[in-house]
Amino acid sequence: MKRIIAAGLIALIAAPAFAQTTTTVQEVTTKGIIMEAQGMQIDVTYKPDGTFTAMDGAVTGKWRIDGDKICSSSNFNPAEECTAYPAGKKSGDSFDLTGAMGTAKITIK
């Protein structure tokens, strides 16, 4: 059950939240993120080929940049969703994203 909830929270990275700049999007997709939600820490790794993995490979998917957003789909949520991240964030910065599954703390690796 926790995996399903966590997979749903991963959709937060694809749910509209904040305006952002390309700098933050580049930091997220080149460095990856740690998402903290419901007592779990989820490591999300973005690859240059437009794929990502999370939860030790249990979640896999595709991502792309669309202007100021990251759009993604996964094996747990095949419908592509897009999210915008807050502007000016870099490696080491943390911020909250809120979506349909709740709020998650995002830290850029």
Res 52 pLDDT > 70: yes
Percent of the chain surpassing pLDDT 70: 78
Does the structure show a pLDDT above 80 at 32?
yes
pLDDT > 90 in the chain, percent = 59
The partner residues of 42 in beta bridges, in order of sequence, read 35
pLDDT given at position 75: 97
Tell me the average pLDDT of the chain: 84
Mean pLDDT value of segment 31-54: 96
pLDDT of res. 28: 96
Contact 62, 50 (CB under 8 A): yes
Band (18; pLDDT cuts 50, 70, 90)? very low
28 compared with 11, residue with greater pLDDT = 28
Which DSSP symbol is given to 67?
Answer: T
DSSP for 32-46 reads -EEEEETTEEEEEEE
Cα distances (angstroms) measured from residue 40 to each of 36, 44, 89, 105:
6, 13, 22, 10
What are the residues facing 36 on neighbouring strands?
41, 105
Residue 67, C-beta contacts closer than 8 angstroms, at least 6 positions apart: none
Q: Which positions ≥6 away from 31 have C-beta within 8 Å? A: 91, 108, 109
